[in-house]
Amino acid sequence: MSESAQNLKIQPTRDEQARQRFVSGMRYYILHNVAAGMRTVYENKVEPRFKHDHGRDPEDGPEVHKAIKDETMFKFYSSMRCNAQEMVWRSVIPMVERNAEDLAARAKAIGADREVAQGTLELDPDFEVPKAVSALDIHLMPGSYHSEYMPDDVSIGAVYDNGGLVFSMGLLGEAREDIGASISCFVSHRYPDFKPARILDLGCGLGNNTLPWARTYPDAEVHAIDVGAPLLRYGHARAQVRGTSVHFHQRAVEDPGFDDESFDLIFSSMLLHEVPPKNVGRTFSEAFRLLKPGGLMLHMELPPNNMTAAYDSFYLDWDSYYNKEPFYKPFRDMDLRQVCADAGFAPDNYVNFVIPSLHLAGRQAILDAVSQETADVNRNTGRMAKTIQWFCFGAWK
Amino acid sequence: MASDGKGDGIHLRDTVRGEPQRFFDAQGVDELVSISMALAQELWTVKERMVVLESAAAAKGVLLNEELEQHQLTAEEQERLGAERAKFIDRIFFVLREQAEGLKSRDPDEPTPPQL
């Protein structure tokens, strides 16, 4: 096999590359310059007007949202963000289309080659993709996570992977494994005696944040589930290329299967805001069932609204209204400690952390965070910038 | 709406299902923002190519300006440019095509965002 046949890389034309670079640059401009302008309008115009009219500060995100939504700066920020989001996917779709058949063949061949890694792929031909994924184009990505255009298709996986690189503006490195890498590094140092033998990643997507757990705990058996077949095919091949053994399964997080008390660590990243709010409790109950006593459930997400200031709540909830992520705000409105308790976890066993980025801040920053007692949520938490930090929460069983 | 100018082969849907978000009160402003951003992107693409072209030409010691003025494209090249132009226009006026396709592909069971 040629070098390109041994991986999932596809080559953009020079113009496609220029379009992709433009979208990254445009997103950076919107998320920094235009967002800073919107905050300035808020602090200098909207907030003083609100105080004058109500005799107090806005209390929460919706109050800020209502007060700012008629401002021209909000309208431009929002309109440009929606457009840039769609342009992310459109900037990679042509090169995926051009390579779709070849990529499907490559992914199949790589997946079957078990020389470097011993991962597996289990797809369910009778699996019904939940409406929460199939009925809308999540984060404005045409085709959501599940659409298939031919047998053995991995196109959506390739759109998500290559688009993700454009979306992240190069901040998280080419592999974009930073969430899993940062959090697994943190956990292994914070709890040096915790040695999970079996790990499950819920809603794994392409497995970017699954693989670092397998590297942090090389003796562990690592499983990962998601609903989208093209993502799983692509993710399986991607893991094999990277020499990391992970077992991928097409299953829903609300109904994951597996035996009771069969995992030591259950993880998810950027999953819960895409689960219908009524199913979050069931997802946690299933995690409780699957965990061995002494096991850890840990979810990375944006911080909840009860930990963020009113303006930041508005800013982080924006995606729920305008980015086809309707469950974002309902999730961020939840009392996380209570949801864990309702699923069976003792309230005293609740944990939450704010963890620096391994890729951007380095290993020492994570080791420094290990010794801190409380989660210090600030404006950098979850916000795509060079100062990004990851919020995560969960509970010990 | 007119076709997207793409030829044969696998076509991934590039339009988002459902109705687009609207932020401006005046009709058409949201679309104009979209068109402006696509134009800016295309302009940047040309600028990138120009930089490469000038650099490559300079490296070969070519007198670029004179040659460009006098050079004639072949029939085949002109045909290729015409096809490129169709795709170029589709990219810039994409938002209009999306409105039609988004409505067609809308799922009646799409979950709705929270009420403000």
Render A64-101 in DSSP notation, one character per residue. HHHHHTTSHHHHHHHHHHHHHHHHHHHTTHHHHHHHHH
Which run of H or of E encompasses B85? helix B75-92
Please indicate whether, in this complex, the C-beta atoms of B13 and A147 are within 8 angstroms of each other: yes
Instruction: State the pTM of this model.
Output: 0.90
pLDDT at residue B1 is higher than 80:
no
| Helix B29-60 / helix A14-28 crossing angle, nearest 10 deg | 130
Please indicate whether, in this complex, the C-beta atoms of B48 and A276 are within 8 angstroms of each other: no
Which run of H or of E encompasses A267? strand A263-269
CB-CB neighbors (< 8 A) of A26 in chain B? 37, 40-41
- Quote the CA–CA distance of A93 and A73 in Å, as a whole number: 30
- Per-residue pLDDT 10s for chain A (397 aa) are 445 567 999 999 989 999 998 999 889 889 988 898 899 989 999 999 999 999 999 999 999 999 999 999 899 999 999 999 999 999 999 999 999 999 999 999 998 888 888 999 999 999 999 999 999 999 999 999 999 999 999 999 999 999 999 999 878 888 899 999 999 999 999 999 999 999 999 999 999 999 999 999 999 999 999 999 999 999 999 999 999 999 999 999 999 999 999 999 999 999 999 999 999 999 999 999 999 999 999 999 999 999 999 999 999 999 999 999 999 999 999 999 999 999 999 999 999 999 999 999 999 999 999 988 766 777 778 777 778 899 999 999 9
Cα separation of the two ends of chain A: 47
- Quote the CA–CA distance of A385 and A178 in Å, as a whole number: 13
Q: Is the dihedral of CA A37, A43, A49, A53 positive or negative?
A: positive
pLDDT of residue B88: 79
pLDDT at residue B2 is higher than 50:
no
DSSP-derived pairing of the beta strands A291-301 and A263-269: parallel
Which residue in A has a C-alpha nearest to residue B40's C-alpha? A22
pLDDT of residue A155: 98
Do A158 and A99 contact (CB within 8 A), yes or no?
yes
Which residue in A has a C-alpha nearest to residue B31's C-alpha? A79
CB-CB neighbors (< 8 A) of B33 in chain A? 76, 79-80, 83
Residue of higher predicted confidence among B15 and B102: B15
Residue of higher predicted confidence among A319 and B18: A319
Chain A neighbours among B 73-102 (CB < 8 Å)? 91, 94
Size of interface A-B (CB pairs under 8 A): 123
Contacts of A6 (CB under 8 A, 6+ apart): A110, A241
- Residue A2 phi/psi, 5-degree rounding, is -70, 170
Which tokens in the block code for residue A249? 């399964």
CB-CB neighbors (< 8 A) of A327 in chain B? 111
The phi-psi region of residue A71 (left if phi > 0; otherwise alpha if psi is between -120 and 50; otherwise beta) is beta
- Quote the CA–CA distance of A316 and A334 in Å, as a whole number: 14
CB-CB neighbors (< 8 A) of B6 in chain A? 97
Which tokens in the block code for residue A222? 């690592």
Tell whether A149 lies on the interface with B, counting CB pairs under 8 A: yes
Give me the residue label for tokens 């699923």.
A343
